[in-house]
């Protein structure tokens, strides 16, 4: 794994590159995170994406904020993974996040021929700094004025700051909107409801606690779950496994 020195050029973008040097292959459970994830593969081998209801074979992909439990497998993986803040994701992708339908889709369905061209350029580059520079240039060329309402952006920030422990009514009151208007605008622009966004952010913090080795009961209390059973149900729904299985799962997360 390697990351660009100095980070990405655009605020709200995090980048990491991965190569399977040992040839052991990839078998990774995808955990929902409060970011939109783009994976640009440029090796000859494809990625197999197993969801709860279907299987896809993709060279590159984009995952919405809250995809269903998914596993990604590959034989000789070489790729760049990009995490996009929901505040800028739609401007870089060129589509509303609601159009991703809460799932994982082929990147070419979003970027068209540009996705294939980017894969070709990354494959032709000989060093990671060259690849990071190509990606930076590509994203800068797509960067447009964000189409997120200030009220939606403020509500998302409030959810993140409070680690998901906030009520929709309080969010609406803080931005001067009705609950119905906030629910509608938030869902249209970010692809999930304010309540689901809060659940996602809370789940992300719970995962961090579990993977740090903390006791599930302690994590449940610290993250605002009613009890350990509540945490168990939510992890099962979001990750497709129990908290105990989750701590033994090989998972890639940004530092």
Surface-to-core class of residue 141, CB atoms within 10 Å of its CB (0-12 exposed, 13-18 middle, 19+ buried): exposed
Chain centroid to CA 202: 14
Tell me how far apart the alpha carbons of residues 68 and 58 are, in angstroms, rounded to a whole number. Answer: 17
Domain boundaries for CATH 1.10.10.60 within the chain: 150-246
Angle, nearest 10°, between helix axes 128-142 and 113-124? 160
Question: What pLDDT score was predicted for residue 166?
Answer: 93
| Residue that is written with structure tokens 């209390």 in the block | 221
Which part of the chain is CATH 2.60.120? 13-142
**Which pLDDT value is given to residue 81?**
93
pTM score, whole prediction: 0.89
CA dist 222 and 170 (Å) reads: 21
Strands of the sheet with 70-74, listed across from one edge: 26-30, 70-74, 47-50, 55-58
pLDDT of the residue at 24: 72
Q: What pLDDT score does 103 carry?
A: 87
CB-based contacts of 212, cutoff 8 Å, min separation 6: none
Mean pLDDT, consecutive 10-residue segments, the chain of 255 residues?
89 91 76 92 85 84 86 87 95 92 90 94 94 95 85 97 95 95 96 96 95 92 95 92 73 37
H helices present in 112-211, as ranges: 113-124, 128-142, 150-161, 168-175, 179-190, 194-211
pLDDT on residue 31: 85
Q: Quick one: CATH architecture of 150-246?
A: Orthogonal Bundle (1.10)
pLDDT of 253 reads: 38
Distance from C-alpha of 142 to C-alpha of 135, rounded to nearest angstrom = 11
Supply the pLDDT for residue 254. 37
Which fold, 13-142? Answer: Jelly Rolls (2.60.120)
When computed from its CA atoms, the radius of gyration of the chain, rounded to whole angstroms, is 18
Which of the 8 DSSP states describes residue 53?
A: S
């Amino acid at each position: 794994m390697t990351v660009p020195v100095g980070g990405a050029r655009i605020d709200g973008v995090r980048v990491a590159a991965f190569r399977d040097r040992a040839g052991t292959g990839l078998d990774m459970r995808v955990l929902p995170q409060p970011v939109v994830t783009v994976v640009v593969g440029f090796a000859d081998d494809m990625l197999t994406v197993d969801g709860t209801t279907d299987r896809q074979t993709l060279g590159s992909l984009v995952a919405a904020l809250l995809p269903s439990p998914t596993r990604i497998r590959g034989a000789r993986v070489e790729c760049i993974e990009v995490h996009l803040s929901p505040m800028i994701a739609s401007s870089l992708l060129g589509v509303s996040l609601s159009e991703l339908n809460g799932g994982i889709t082929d990147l070419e369905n979003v970027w068209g021929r540009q996705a294939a061209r980017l894969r070709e350029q990354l494959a032709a580059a000989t060093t990671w700094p060259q690849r990071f520079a190509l990606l930076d240039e590509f994203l800068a060329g797509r960067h447009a004025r964000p189409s997120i309402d200030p009220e939606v952006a403020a509500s998302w920030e409030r959810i993140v700051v409070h680690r998901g422990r906030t009520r929709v009514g309080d969010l609406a009151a803080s931005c001067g909107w009705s609950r119905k208007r906030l629910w509608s605008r938030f869902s249209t622009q970010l692809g999930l409801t304010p309540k689901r966004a809060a659940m996602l952010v809370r789940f992300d913090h719970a995962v961090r606690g579990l993977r740090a080795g903390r006791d599930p009961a302690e994590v449940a209390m610290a993250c605002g779950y009613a009890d350990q059973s509540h945490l168990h149900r939510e992890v099962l729904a979001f990750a497709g496994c129990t908290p105990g299985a989750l701590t033994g799962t090989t998972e890639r997360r940004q530092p």
